[in-house]
Amino acid sequence: MQTHEIRRRFLDHFVKAGHTEVASASLLLDDPNLLFVNAGMVQFVPYFLGQQTPPYSTATSVQKCVRTLDIENVGITTRHNTFFQMAGNFSFGDYFKREAITHAWALLTSPIDEGGYGFDPERLWVTVYLDDDEARDIWRDEVGIPEERIQRRGMADNYWSMGIPGPCGPCSEIYYDRGPEFGEDGGPEADEDRYLEIWNLVFMQNERGEGTGKDSFEILGPLPKKNIDTGMGVERVAFLLQGVDNVYETDLVRPVIAKAEELSGRTYGRDHEDDVRFRVIADHARTAAMLIADGVNPGNDGRGYVLRRLLRRIVRSAKLLGADRPSMREFVTVVRDTMAPSYPVLETDFDRISTVAVGEETAFLKTLASGSRLFENAASEVKAAGKKVIGGDEAFALHDTYGFPIDLTLEMASEAGLSVDEDGFRTLMAEQRTRAKEDAQARKHAHADLSVYKELVDRGPTEFTGFEELVTESSVLALISNGVRVPTAAAGQDVEIVLDRSPLYAESGGQIADRGTITASGLRVRVNDVQKIAKKLWVHKVTVEQGQITEGDTVLTQVDADWRKGATQGHSGTHMVHAALRQVLGPNAVQAGSLNKPGYLRFDFSWQGALTEAQKQDIEAVTNEAVAANYAVNTFVTDLDKAKSMGAMALFGENYGDEVRVVEIGGPFSMELCGGTHVGSSAQIGQVTLLGEQSVGSGIRRVEAYVGLDSYRHLAKERALLAGLSASLKVPAEEVPARVESLVERLRVAEKQLEATRAKAVLAAAGEFAEKAQRIGAVRLVADAAPAGVSAGDLRTLVGDIRGRLGNDPAVVILLGDVDGKVPFVVAANKAAQELGIRAGELVASFGPKIAGRGGGKADMAQGSGADPSGVQAALDAVRARVAELAGSN
């Protein structure tokens, strides 16, 4: 049975039983404790907790989920996908254990031609929580499962919570026995590979508090109602019904493996290590595509880092399988083809998805290439020193800086006939993990400081009056100094002030905070910044300039009007640039962040590659034409669905409440969900001047612009610059470009001539060195200091040239340079010298230490650099002695 069909049957079964079908929520929900949605119940948490009234009493959904905790196990076990679909049925105070159990049983065991999954009831086992006799009785007496196939298990297995505070309860799990060839007898208690969990029925009845692990947390008390939350693993049911070996081989995932077989030339099912790589590619390609579809971009922390890791693991696995060209686009194309029937966004947003994935692949392949060079250097040094083991520190550097997994380093080492100090590597890895843990702990302590605000947050939100007025009478609710409540603050002190009402805009949505003052008779306080705590408490960071401020005071809080005017120009200007950008570049230019303040704005968006000059000019022109059109600016509050259906732009990954504020400039020209302050009509923004465009991380570009008077000042400065150039070049402004071009051309010709002269001088020097060659035994040797100032590149040419001039008898040339306190060196041995056993690469070891030098190479040519010029003479003596030894001993 195809996976799409399994999903459909599930939903139909529960809709027929009166449930409302609810769409999957985004993988990103607004819970700082939850990186990704990891269970079907997550979108219903407020209903379980009684914080919101559900619009239905029973529901069913197939939720997309991502769990990346045990990413290292992907491909090794049979049952862990990082992306999976959880089919569930939910009751919010409606039915409880009996119906949850009988509904599940009916769907699993009804024959296929009656809409069920047709599982053989004899192969199903169930578990219940230790003392849950009620569930045991229903399974045994009403469903008819024999007592020996019902097992009781404790907290760790049969008591479900999200791992964080929230709803929880005992559960009952349904397992399928895959047969004795997959493990020992004895039910799920004995072997969870043979007995595969397919469905978890949670009797959601309590609220859990803080705690750790699956079984050590506090239970705060019962929920307002008894609820049901169930989760069936769609991928697991698919792998059983499709008769394949594991979750990576189902109809939706196996085609990616087939593509990887085609690209790598290797066959799945032959070699365990290769199979794991195939499965990693198939699993991760799907997860990555789904994450990008929901708005995640690769980054260095949080969700972005998870995505980056997944994409890089795909690239590495493909490389280890021997794929010799970029393959990401083909993998995500297969994901689209298999998954789009259930997730049409993969089709509609395919360009964006594949561009982001391929962008990361390209960047990582470059990193891998630099890493490979580092590896080769390390390998040749090890060989030059006559050793066989690459140090743990080198392997760690490759891992840490270039993302090389240890198995890649091991494989490359073994190809080069070397091994790796794995113990050393692991020690360094362990040290790094300890450091990371300590960092995380330190961060936790920093968070603890927020507790001072808790009581104030609980008291209720600050009322923001700044859309209607710039001056507001407020009362001082609290003063905080260095994280501690204080009753009063006097002139000269920097403190934080919490007010009941404030017209000052707190930094959010890219707009920085208003500046302003807080005054009362004899009191003057300057507001330097305003930040929101828990999204609703305005914390004013201030300097008391005059007088004294005390908790409970009534004060006048005032926005600096000029600042606010500039801030509205900056923020409205940002919306105009955003709209223009999408008009010019299309819908793939998705906002990734922004910042605006009086006179300046910047806007980040996902895009691959630099913008062309023409695109930049178009964006600037569209923006300024829309400014000049003096469009009306309207703001209104509506519900999220309505706003979206009007085409209002929302930020990916941002979570909005049910009520949202929409800012509309020029009707369809620009419509965005936004809580910021704006101009009354677009001409008030003034001139917008783009400053240029740059990359800020893989796949993200940034444009910056000046607005209003700052725009004018910028242009005036540029004009003055041009006037200055025109004066010093002594041509009218319009002739400046042609004049600069001709100057550059003349410079180029002059540099070429200079280069030719220098090359001649180097060649002449070659003749002189060759004449000075000493004879040591059978060998002609030039070992000398190079003329001062000869670059490392020229040194190589010079040494090659001298060697050429020494003829076919054994000849060795070594020159040590002197450039900026460093000693670049090149060693060459001709064929006849090599036949005597003299190798350029090996000679480095004889003199390198005298100049604190490192380097290496092959038998004919080696190079490197030393850090200690005072050792040049000693180095030359050492190499002469070594050549003498070698020449004499042959």
Residue 227 or 670 having the CB closest to ligand SER = 227
* Sheet with 823-829, side-by-side order of all strands: 774-776, 779-785, 811-816, 823-829, 861-866, 853-857
161 binds ligand SER (CB under 6 A): no
Which of 54/392 has CB closer to ligand SER? 54
Contact 124, 175 (CB under 8 A): yes
In angstroms, the Cα distances linking 377 to 85, 370, 413 are 46, 11, 12
CA 357 – CA 292 distance, rounded (Å) = 8
Concatenated DSSP letters of 495-561: EEEEESEE-SPPSBTTBPPPPEEEEETTEEEEEEEEEEETTTEEEEEEEEEESEEETT-EEEEEE-H
80 known ligand binder: no
Query: What 3-state DSSP class applies to 276?
Result: helix
What DSSP string runs through 419-439? EE-HHHHHHHHHHHHHHHHHH
The stretch among 226-234, 334-342, 405-413, 550-558 that binds ligand SER (CB under 6 A) is: 226-234
Of the candidates 607, 634, 811, 765, the residue with the CA atom closest to the CA atom of residue 700: 607
CB 667 within 8 Å of CB 629? no
CB of 113 to ligand SER, least distance (A): 28
Contact status, residue 37 vs residue 63, Cβ threshold 8 Å: yes
Q: With CB under 6 A as the contact rule, which of the stretches 5-13, 223-231, 243-251, 601-609 interacts with ligand SER?
A: 223-231
In the complex, minimum distance from the CB of residue 223 to ligand SER, in angstroms, rounded to a whole number: 14
CB nearer to ligand SER: give 37 or 833: 37
**Under DSSP, is residue 254 helix (H, G, I), strand (E, B) or coil?**
helix
Q: Which two tokens stand for residue 391?
A: 């140090």
Asked if 163 is part of the footprint of ligand SER (rule: CB under 6 A), the reply reads no
End-to-end Cα separation, the chain, in angstroms: 77
Query: Looking at beta carbons only, is 231 or 708 nearer to ligand SER?
Result: 231
Min dist. Cβ of residue 247 to ligand SER (A): 16
- String of contacts with ligand SER for each residue 102-141, x by CB under 6 A: ----------------------------------------
Residue 230 Cβ vs ligand SER, minimum distance, rounded to whole Å: 5
Q: Could you tell me the smallest distance in angstroms from the CB atom of residue 171 to ligand SER?
A: 7
Select from 228-236, 403-411, 546-554, 873-881 the region that touches ligand SER (CB under 6 A).
228-236
Size of the site for ligand SER (CB under 6 A): 10
State the minimum distance, in angstroms, from the CB of residue 200 to ligand SER. 4
Q: Does 693 bind ligand SER (CB under 6 A)?
A: no
65 is known to lie in a ligand binding site: no
Q: Which is nearer to ligand SER, 85 or 474 (CB)?
A: 85
Candidate ranges 224-232, 234-242, 697-705, 761-769; the one touching ligand SER (CB under 6 A): 224-232
Nearer to ligand SER, 160 or 375 (CB): 160
Answer yes or no whether residue 231 interacts with ligand SER by CB under 6 A: yes
Q: Which of 54, 75, 88, 599 binds ligand SER (CB under 6 A)?
A: 88
Closest separation in Å from C-beta 199 to ligand SER = 8
Q: Which residue, among 559, 570, 602, has the nearest Cα to 692 in the 3D structure?
A: 602
| Position 573 contacts ligand SER (CB under 6 A) | no
Q: Distance between CA atoms of 603 and 609, rounded to whole angstroms?
A: 16
Q: Closest separation between CB of residue 231 and ligand SER, Å?
A: 2
Beta bridge partners of 219: 208
Based on CB atoms, which residue is closest to ligand SER, 40 or 466? 40
Half-sphere exposure of 110 (CA within 13 A, CB side): 12
Report CA-CA distances (Å) from 366 to 343, 363, 369, 402, 527. Answer: 32, 5, 5, 10, 47
d(CA 43, CA 597): 36
The distance of closest approach from Cβ of residue 90 to ligand SER in the complex, given in angstroms and rounded to an integer, is 8
Looking at beta carbons only, is 290 or 321 nearer to ligand SER?
290
- The span of 94-102, 227-235, 387-395, 506-514 binding ligand SER (CB under 6 A) equals 227-235
SS3 state of residue 267? coil
Using the rule CB under 6 A, is 160 a contact of ligand SER?
A: yes
Stretch 173-212: interaction string toward ligand SER, x if CB under 6 A: ---------------------------x-x----------
Q: Which residues of 427-463 are buried (b: 16+ CB within 10 A; e: fewer)?
A: ebbeeeeeeeeeeeeeeeeeeeeeebbeebbeeeebe
Q: Is 229 in the site for ligand SER (CB under 6 A)?
A: yes
**Nearest CB to ligand SER, comparing residues 200 and 327:** 200
Q: Which is nearer to ligand SER, 3 or 89 (CB)?
A: 89
* Nearest-approach distance from CB 173 to ligand SER, in angstroms: 8
Residue 746 buriedness (CB in 10 A; 0-12 / 13-18 / 19+): exposed
Q: Which is nearer to ligand SER, 88 or 371 (CB)?
A: 88
Q: CB of residue 653 vs ligand SER: minimum separation in angstroms?
A: 23
Q: Does 230 bind ligand SER (CB under 6 A)?
A: yes
x/- map, 32-71, ligand SER, by CB under 6 A: -------xxx------------------------------
**Is 234 a residue that touches ligand SER (CB under 6 A)?**
no
Does an H or E element contain 877, and which? helix 872-888
Distance of closest approach, residue 164 Cβ to ligand SER, in angstroms? 13
In sequence order, the 6+-apart residues with CB closer than 8 A to the CB of 369 are: none
Give the separation between CA 38 and CA 667, rounded to whole angstroms.
Answer: 39
Minimum CB separation of residue 160 from ligand SER in Å reads 5
Q: Which residue is nearest to ligand SER (CB)?
A: 231
- The 3-state secondary structure of 795-809 reads HHHHHHHHHHHCCCC
Positions in the binding site for ligand SER (CB under 6 A): 39-41, 88, 160, 200, 202, 229-231
Annotated binding site for Zn(2+): 571, 575, 674, 678
Annotated binding site: 571, 575, 674, 678
